[in-house]
Structure 1
Amino acid sequence: MHTGSSPSRYARSARRLHWLMALLVILAYGLILSRGQFERGSLERQWVVLSHFWVGLLVLALVLPRLWVRHRHPVPPITPPLARSLEAVGRLTHYALYGFLLAQPLLGLFTVWLTIGAVKIPSSTWALPSPFPVDPELAKSLKGVHIWLGTAFYWVIGLHLLAALWHHLIRRDDTLKRML
């Protein structure tokens, strides 16, 4: 089962998906945070929000392949090994990250479906119709959860980054090197 990488590193496919998804998440955040730079209703603002949405869908499309790769290839051990309590915290943080990577795009998709009834495909006349009836109140609630969860995601990502730096600079183990 373990192909394409040494036992001391994650599989090449896992590393590529990790960094690609990290860049996409940064792009999604950058896009949505930049919308305030444009006037409400302007084409530029609409483009930024639509781009945020499609980057989110790309993240969603990559979650299952990433989980499949994670399942298919063993996680390389950390050298030197961690205490069980730290291992548990790391595992919990990773589960939270995967949960966010799945929940955030789904909340965004359902919000659009419940707001306008379809997801329009850019530069085409095609649209992906909603399996649900339009429901502005539910859409508003889901959008609120999406925004709240996005803020929580900042903190979990920050914890993930700080942990990587702590492992590399203070503990001096190979945690970060396994993903490079």
Structure 2
Amino acid sequence: MVVRFAKSQIVLHWLTLLMVILTYAAMLLKDSVPDDNIALVKDLHFNFGISVFVLMFIRLGLRHSNPSPPITPPLAQWQALGSKVFHWLLYLLFLSLPVLGFLTLAYGGKTWMLLGWQVPQWITPDPVMRSWLRTIHETLANTGYFIIGAHVLAALYHHYFRRDDTLRRMMPGK
């Protein structure tokens, strides 16, 4: 019986976390850098966000082909349901945030870089739509702190209080 996630899933989980941290850090630091570097920091934020989007799609594919190993001892039904809901919220969050950010930039009418390439303007700029999309993007990003925090707290609760293998199933190593 499989007791851990596949190595590819473990690597992608922690790589996604790194990209999420870098994405959030870039936006949090944009007001702390010299004006000459603000565009670079925004481009980094965007590119890190796109990498999260790509990683999440890959992770969804792996999740489909590699079922989650069972938790030992098994969870109560309400905990199993809560786990599924929060995992799908994480997937939805990190798939929708990059799309909203991408559309915000597109409707903003400004030039921007994707992996070193200038993205052409393909949508007629619309300041009202840009503002609306940006508000949704920022609100969801702020909600992300709660969802990520709940995910981390649940993993720590399972490891230190419940003493099951929830966290160990996703830890790197043997």
TM range (shorter): over 0.9
Which runs of no fewer than 5 residues in structure 1 stay unpaired? 1-5
Equivalence for 1:25 = 20
1:3 match:
none
- The structure 2 residue matched to 1:176, chosen from 130, 155, 167, is 167
How big is the shift at 1:119? 4.1
Task: Find the partner of 1:95 among 88, 95, 99.
Answer: 88
Using structure 2 for the length normalisation, give the TM-score.
Answer: 0.93
Paired position in structure 1 for 2:155: 164
- The equivalent of 1:11 in structure 2 is 6
Higher RCO by CA contacts (8 Å cutoff, separation 6 or greater): 2
CA distance in 1, matches of 2:148, 2:27: 17
Shift of 1:146: 0.6
CA contact (8 A) 2:72 2:164 kept: yes
Q: Deviations over 1:68-115 (max 9, x none)?
A: 000000100000000111000000000000001101111110000111
Residue number in structure 1 paired with 2:138:
147
CA contact (8 A) 1:117 1:129 kept: no
Distance 2:5 2:121 in 1: 38
Which secondary structure does the structure 1 equivalent of 2:119 belong to?
Answer: strand
| Residue type of the alignment partner of 1:174 | D
Match of 2:108 among 83, 104, 115: 115
Distance 1:26 1:173 in 2: 27
Q: TM-score with structure 1 length normalisation?
A: 0.90
User: Of 70, 77, 89, which residue of structure 2 is paired with 1:77?
Assistant: 70
Question: How many aligned residue pairs are there?
Answer: 171
The one-letter code of the counterpart of 1:30 is: A
Give the Cα separation in 1 of the matches to 2:113 and 2:14.
Answer: 28
Per the alignment, residue 32 of structure 2 pairs with 37
Find runs of 4+ consecutive structure 1 residues off by over 4 angstroms: none
Partner of 1:120: helix, strand, or coil?
strand
Secondary structure at the residue paired with 2:70?
A: coil
SS at match of 1:175: coil
Q: Say if 1:139 and 1:16 are closer, same or farther in 2 by CA, change over 3 A.
A: same
Deviation, structure 1 residue 137: 1.0
**Residues 4 and 168 of structure 2 are in contact (CA less than 8 Å); yes or no, is this contact kept in structure 1?**
yes
Partner-residue secondary structure (3-state), 1:37:
coil
- Displacement of 1:11 after TM fit? 0.7
Which residue, out of 54, 62, 68, partners 2:61? 68
Q: Once the 2 structures are TM-superposed, how far is the Cα of residue 164 of structure 1 from its aligned partner?
A: 0.3
Partner of 1:59: 52
Contact 1:10/1:178, CA 8 A, preserved across alignment: yes
Matching residue's letter, 2:125:
V
Unaligned runs of 5+ in 2: none
